[in-house]
């Protein structure tokens, strides 16, 4: 008869944060034979707390008390299993009239407890018998009573009832060392009374006795888990003089392997270390001092944890007890007070109701479901019970007219009618596997499907594998209509999997083109380093490059503080080349500091920045960094500490070389002429250099004409190069357009000290998109109190799963707002996106053709 039933909620209920509610639940199964039962919670994803209580499940309806300790609302869906009710039985008093056959155990208990003194249990075993016989049958209860009576001497009657072995004595070999004497230590006032009481108890038990020893060690009181006091003695001085025993201690793994495949129970020794006596010659060496005087072990040893050889002595004694026995045989409880019960013993104790299977794997302590529970669950399923009814009435396939008005799930079962088999009133599905072997799948009721998916996917043995592997595991055991779609959705909605696994094809948005038409319209800054510290103390390089002319500057700097960057930017760049219209940087703290942003505001410079972990928007300066590294690596010394002495020459080489995107050298686009190199002093001036005449106006006209010509050619070349790069980049795009109100995961590969990045989850979420600047730049937020984050499209992926209360409410509000006014364009945050300069400043007339 089933004594454990699942409790399923009757209706969908919303539990407010940090609150508790009472929910009606129905008992899954026939519980009319139970009068009292205990409610026990089961593990759920929502981490709700279910109160344990004593209930009457005979009416099939129970009230559950559930607490939500989180800061978010939790929704409990209908038919959710949050707890189980188990049969409760009092050993000494029947819970109802002992008329039914199920109450025989209470009659048996009364009969046993009222027997004559010769057959009754000793007083110290009554509580043990009551607690151990609650779930036993009548036959098992009698056998348990006889077992306790047979070995009643193995159980301690009180704390002072200690055994003592005569097979071994503990010896302390200190050689010719002089006695060590230490002064007593001060005890807390609150523990002195307890210390005196424990000392008196040990004297009464014969554990210790007064001593006149020249040795003395101080005591240390330790509070146990149950609140009592334990005497500990500081034997470190004695241990330093003791010749240690090298007797090998057993390996824990060997002990566990010896118990492999066995059912076992343990009985703890009452103060086990006290039951090995100390050699009378060495007792004085273990003397300890208190305010009442000096004491030493009596017939037993005190506090073996303090002596270095005690574990070896105890292990030696345990090995002697069973040295002649094989580890595969039974151990007698009387000999070592420890019994390892084999399968045969359990079978004798519990009769023929339990069958054991030989398995090479370790036993898994999970509660298995018997056939009665499976039958009952299928009968309670709204769809499966119809199939069972049809199969039991007639094995012929019903007509389509009878099924056409039924649910889609029932139609699926109907289409596989010939494969559905009824075996012992349990419905199975027969199918042929890939290896041409016939297999049977249990038709799984809806109440167990979530539990099965958790075990085969979420649990450690499930491994959080993908759809294919999870589907293979489920299909080899179970079947239900639409199970493939259910498994696919379960894996897609698994937050643990999504926080670790990225999309099969990484997100890649289309390239955005940014074209400039004049020098210093847009300048990019970046820090290169750290590099080996040079003899001048430099460790980093401040790199600046002009987007139009590709003119580059590189300054060696000792640090990357905001003050250092700001001084060089103003004194070395602005004072030599002028004020740029726009400055583009990454999100380094030196560029986002108040000092640097204040300088940009003071000079009326429009400052923009890249999105986090997406340096592609500043790809020009990133590519320049690699070029500088390549040039320096070919000229620096072996110790790499002279790179700053080669930096100026390396930049001259870069400025005088033709750039692929423009077709001209940076110096030609910046100054309208080529810079003369040392080779020009040997073989004559550069052919593109204009001859200087006496008339300065004529030279200026020719220089201006040359600048117009090369700038127009460079613009055409840059447009063509930009179009070519966009075509190549967009060839592999995998873009997805997000809207305001969408919920997403964010790629965040953080590194934590002491943890391997290979084992960390790199996706965090969920985040709500609250604003869309472009089709590639979005503003997201994870909670009401979190800061807004501006992120690139390539760091996002859709979130599939359950949302917390704030996310769901905010998403609904944003969706409602979009439906009311779809024509409203989102405001752009001008500090966070890359765009054309809007400063009201006219360019020189010679640059007018680029518009």
739 CB-near residues (< 8 Å, 6+ apart): 769, 772, 818
Q: Which residue has the higher pLDDT, 518 or 313?
A: 518
State how far the Cα of 195 lies from the Cα of 359, in Å rounded to an integer.
Answer: 52
| Confidence (pLDDT) at 834 | 42
Among 524, 489, 508, 739, which Cα is nearest to 620's? 524
Judge contact between 213 and 296, C-beta under 8 A: yes
- Residues 317, 393, single domain; the answer is no
The enclosing domain of 652 has a CATH number of 3.30.420.10
| Confidence (pLDDT) at 201 | 81
- Residues 698, 764, single domain; the answer is no
pLDDT in tens, 648-689: 999 998 988 888 888 888 888 888 878 888 887 777 776 666
Mean pLDDT, residues 126-146: 80
**363 located within any domain:** no
| Confidence (pLDDT) at 567 | 92
Residue 228 has pLDDT above 70, yes or no: yes
Judge contact between 317 and 168, C-beta under 8 A: yes
What is the token pair recorded at 843? 């360019």
Q: In DSSP terms, which residues pair with 105 in a beta bridge? A: none
Among 101, 88, 92, which Cα is nearest to 34's? 88
**544 located within any domain:** yes
Residue 751 has pLDDT above 90, yes or no: no
pLDDT in tens, 191-207: 888 888 888 888 887 77
Lowest mean pLDDT among 363-367, 496-500, 777-781: 363-367
On the 0-12 / 13-18 / 19+ scale of CB atoms within 10 A, 391 is: middle
**738 located within any domain:** no
| Confidence (pLDDT) at 545 | 92
Tell me phi and psi for residue 33, to 5 degrees. -85, -5
Judge contact between 132 and 105, C-beta under 8 A: no
Judge contact between 445 and 380, C-beta under 8 A: yes
What's the Rg (C-alpha) of the chain? 42
Output DSSP code: residue 177. P
State how far the Cα of 566 lies from the Cα of 553, in Å rounded to an integer.
Answer: 15
Highest mean pLDDT among 24-33, 205-214, 538-547: 538-547
| Confidence (pLDDT) at 92 | 40
- Residues 434, 459, single domain; the answer is yes
State how far the Cα of 470 lies from the Cα of 472, in Å rounded to an integer.
Answer: 5
Cis peptide before 388 (omega within 30 of 0): no
pLDDT in tens, 766-782: 888 888 888 788 888 87
- Residues 25, 71, single domain; the answer is yes
Report percent pLDDT > 90 for the chain: 8
CB atoms within 10 A of CB 156: 16
State how far the Cα of 316 lies from the Cα of 376, in Å rounded to an integer.
Answer: 55
Judge contact between 42 and 28, C-beta under 8 A: no
CB atoms within 10 A of CB 133: 21
Residue 832 has pLDDT above 70, yes or no: no
Residue 614's domain comprises 522-725
Residue 10 has pLDDT above 60, yes or no: yes
pLDDT bin (cut points 50, 70, 90) of residue 816 is low
pLDDT in tens, 386-433: 888 888 887 788 888 888 888 888 888 888 888 888 888 888 888 776
| Confidence (pLDDT) at 271 | 66
**516 located within any domain:** no
State how far the Cα of 467 lies from the Cα of 498, in Å rounded to an integer.
Answer: 13
**46 located within any domain:** yes
- Residues 712, 750, single domain; the answer is no
Residue 570 has pLDDT above 80, yes or no: yes
Lowest mean pLDDT among 158-167, 313-322, 375-384: 313-322
- Residues 472, 538, single domain; the answer is no
Residue 849 has pLDDT above 50, yes or no: no
Highest mean pLDDT among 162-166, 320-324, 685-689: 162-166
pLDDT in tens, 243-267: 777 666 777 777 776 766 666 666 6
pLDDT in tens, 424-463: 888 888 877 666 677 888 888 888 888 888 888 888 888 8
For the chain, helix (H) and strand (E) counts, in that order, are 26, 30
Tell me phi and psi for residue 81, to 5 degrees. -90, 110
Task: Give 353-420 as a DSSP string.
Answer: G------SSPP-------HHHHHHHHHHSTTHHHHHHHHHH-SSPPPHHHHTTS-HHHHHHHHTGGGE
Query: Domain ends where: 321, 339, 358?
Result: 321
Lowest mean pLDDT among 68-72, 445-449, 624-628: 68-72
pLDDT in tens, 261-306: 666 666 666 665 566 777 777 778 888 888 888 888 875 444 444 4
Among 519, 532, 625, which Cα is nearest to 573's? 519
Mean pLDDT, residues 136-141: 81
Q: Which residue has the higher pLDDT, 47 or 791?
A: 791
CA distances from 837 to 514, 517, 546, 651, 714 (A): 11, 12, 14, 28, 20
Residue 598 has pLDDT above 90, yes or no: yes
Judge contact between 516 and 548, C-beta under 8 A: yes
Judge contact between 579 and 603, C-beta under 8 A: yes
Among 397, 169, 124, which Cα is nearest to 270's? 124
| Confidence (pLDDT) at 329 | 40
pLDDT bin (cut points 50, 70, 90) of residue 175 is confident
Mean pLDDT, residues 194-222: 83
pLDDT bin (cut points 50, 70, 90) of residue 544 is very high
pLDDT bin (cut points 50, 70, 90) of residue 359 is very low
- Residues 529, 586, single domain; the answer is yes
Lowest mean pLDDT among 99-108, 124-133, 777-786: 99-108
Mean pLDDT of the chain: 75
Q: Which residue has the higher pLDDT, 815 or 118?
A: 815
- The number of distinct structural domains making up the chain is 6
- Residues 275, 310, single domain; the answer is yes
Query: Domain ends where: 473, 493, 513?
Result: 493
| Confidence (pLDDT) at 539 | 93
pLDDT bin (cut points 50, 70, 90) of residue 829 is very low
**163 located within any domain:** no
- Residues 712, 749, single domain; the answer is no
Phi/psi zone of residue 458: left (φ > 0), alpha (ψ -120 to 50 degrees), beta?
alpha
Residue 540 has pLDDT above 90, yes or no: yes
- Residues 666, 786, single domain; the answer is no
Judge contact between 133 and 146, C-beta under 8 A: no
On the 0-12 / 13-18 / 19+ scale of CB atoms within 10 A, 5 is: buried
Three-state DSSP class for residue 782: coil
- Residues 556, 638, single domain; the answer is yes
The enclosing domain of 765 has a CATH number of 2.30.30
Q: Which residue has the higher pLDDT, 132 or 162?
A: 132
646 CB-near residues (< 8 Å, 6+ apart): 631, 632, 635, 636
On the 0-12 / 13-18 / 19+ scale of CB atoms within 10 A, 543 is: buried
**352 located within any domain:** no
Cis peptide before 766 (omega within 30 of 0): yes
| Confidence (pLDDT) at 354 | 37
pLDDT bin (cut points 50, 70, 90) of residue 581 is very high
| Confidence (pLDDT) at 459 | 84
Task: Give 15-36 as a DSSP string.
Answer: EPTTEEEEEEEEEES--TT-S-
| Confidence (pLDDT) at 762 | 76
| Confidence (pLDDT) at 153 | 75
- Residues 80, 148, single domain; the answer is no
Secondary structure element (H or E) that encloses residue 221, with its range:
strand 217-223
Q: In DSSP terms, which residues pair with 67 in a beta bridge? A: 20, 49
**514 located within any domain:** no
State how far the Cα of 685 lies from the Cα of 678, in Å rounded to an integer.
Answer: 10
Phi/psi zone of residue 351: left (φ > 0), alpha (ψ -120 to 50 degrees), beta?
left
| Confidence (pLDDT) at 568 | 92
Mutual orientation of helices 483-493 and 467-475 as an angle, nearest 10°? 140
Query: Domain ends where: 474, 493, 512?
Result: 493
Q: Which residue has the higher pLDDT, 105 or 395?
A: 395
Q: In DSSP terms, which residues pair with 278 in a beta bridge? A: 170
What is the token pair recorded at 811? 């998403």
Residue with tokens 């479901």: 369
């Amino acid at each position: 008869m089933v004594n454990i039933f699942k409790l399923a909620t009757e209706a969908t209920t919303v539990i407010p944060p940090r609150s508790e509610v009472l929910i009606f639940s129905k008992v899954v199964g026939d519980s009319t034979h139970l009068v009292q039962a205990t409610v026990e919670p089961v593990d759920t994803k929502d981490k709700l707390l279910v109160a344990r209580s004593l209930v009457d499940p005979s009416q099939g309806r129970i009230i559950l008390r559930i607490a939500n300790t989180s800061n978010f609302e939790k929704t409990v869906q209908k038919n959710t299993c949050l707890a189980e009710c188990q049969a409760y039985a009092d050993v000494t008093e029947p819970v109802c009239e002992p008329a039914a056959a199920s109450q025989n155990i209470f009659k048996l208990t009364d009969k046993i407890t009222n027997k004559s003194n010769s057959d009754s249990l000793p007083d110290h075993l009554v509580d043990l018998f009551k607690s151990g016989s609650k779930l036993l049958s009548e036959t098992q209860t009698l056998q348990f009573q006889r077992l306790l009576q047979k070995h009643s001497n193995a159980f301690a009657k009180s704390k002072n009832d200690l055994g003592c072995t005569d097979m071994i004595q503990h010896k302390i070999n200190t050689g010719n060392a002089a006695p060590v004497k230490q002064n007593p230590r001060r005890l807390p006032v609150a523990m002195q009374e307890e210390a005196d009481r424990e000392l008196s108890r040990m004297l009464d038990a014969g554990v210790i006795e007064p001593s006149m020893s020249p040795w003395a060690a101080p005591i240390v009181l330790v509070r146990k888990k149950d609140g009592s006091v334990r005497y500990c003695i500081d034997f470190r001085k004695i241990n330093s003089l003791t010749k240690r025993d090298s007797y090998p201690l057993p390996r824990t793994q060997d002990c566990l392997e010896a118990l492999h495949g066995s059912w076992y129970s343990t009985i703890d020794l009452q103060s086990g270390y006290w039951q090995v006596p100390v050699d009378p010659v060495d007792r004085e060496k273990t003397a300890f001092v208190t305010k009442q005087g000096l004491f030493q072990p009596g017939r037993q040893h005190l506090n073996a944890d303090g002596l270095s050889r005690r574990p070896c002595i105890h292990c030696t004694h345990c090995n002697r007890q069973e040295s002649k026995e094989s580890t595969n045989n039974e151990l007698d409880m009387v000999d070592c007070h420890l019994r390892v019960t084999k399968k045969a013993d359990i079978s004798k104790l519990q009769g023929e109701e339990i069958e054991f299977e030989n398995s090479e794997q370790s036993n898994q302590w999970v509660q298995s479901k018997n056939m009665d529970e499976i039958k009952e669950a299928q009968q309670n399923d709204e769809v499966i019970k119809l199939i069972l009814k049809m199969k039991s009435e007639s094995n012929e396939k019903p007509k389509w007219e009878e099924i056409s008005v039924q649910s889609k799930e029932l139609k699926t079962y109907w289409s596989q009618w010939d494969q559905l088999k009824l075996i012992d009133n349990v419905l199975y599905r027969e199918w042929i596997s890939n290896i041409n072997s016939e297999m049977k799948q249990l038709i799984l009721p809806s109440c167990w499907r979530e539990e099965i998916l958790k075990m085969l996917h979420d649990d450690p043995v499930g491994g959080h594998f993908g759809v294919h592997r999870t589907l293979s595991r489920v299909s080899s055991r179970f079947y239900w209509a639409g199970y493939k779609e259910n498994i696919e959705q379960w894996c897609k909605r698994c937050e643990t999997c999504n926080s670790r696994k990225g999309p099969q094809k990484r997100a890649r948005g289309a390239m955005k083109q940014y074209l400039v038409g004049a020098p210093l319209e847009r300048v990019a800054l970046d820090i290169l380093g750290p590099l080996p510290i040079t003899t001048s103390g430099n460790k980093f390089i401040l790199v600046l490059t002009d987007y139009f002319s590709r003119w580059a500057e590189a300054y060696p700097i000792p640090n990357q503080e905001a003050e250092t960057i700001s001084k060089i930017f103003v004194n070395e760049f602005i004072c030599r080349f002028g004020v740029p219209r726009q400055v583009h940087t990454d999100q380094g703290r030196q560029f986002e500091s108040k000092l640097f942003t204040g300088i940009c505001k003071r000079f009326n410079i429009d400052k923009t920045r890249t999105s986090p972990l997406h340096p592609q928007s500043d790809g020009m300066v990133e590519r320049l960094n690699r070029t500088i590294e390549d040039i320096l690596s070919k000229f620096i010394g072996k110790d790499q500490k002279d790179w700053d002495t080669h930096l100026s020459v390396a930049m001259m080489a870069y400025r005088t070389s033709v750039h692929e995107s423009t077709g001209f050298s940076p110096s030609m686009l910046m100054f309208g002429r080529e810079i003369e190199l040392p080779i020009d002093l040997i073989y004559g001036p550069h052919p593109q250099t204009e001859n200087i005449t006496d008339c300065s106006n004529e030279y200026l006209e020719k220089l201006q004409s040359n600048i117009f010509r090369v700038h127009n050619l460079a613009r055409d070349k840059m447009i063509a190069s930009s179009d070519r790069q966009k075509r190549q980049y967009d060839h592999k795009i995998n873009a997805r357009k997000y809207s305001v109100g969408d919920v997403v995961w964010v790629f965040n590969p953080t590194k934590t000290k002491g943890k391997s990045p290979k084992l960390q989850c790199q996706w965090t979420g969920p985040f709500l998109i609250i604003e869309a600047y472009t089709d590639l730049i979005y503003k997201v937020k994870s909670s009401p109190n979190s800061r807004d984050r501006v992120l690139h499209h390539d760091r996002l992926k859709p979130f599939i799963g359950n949302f917390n209360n704030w996310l769901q409410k905010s998403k609904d509000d944003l969706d409602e707002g979009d439906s009311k006014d779809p024509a409203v364009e989102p405001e752009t945050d001008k500090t966070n996106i890359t765009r054309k300069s809007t400063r009201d400043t006219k360019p020189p007339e010679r640059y007018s053709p680029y518009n």
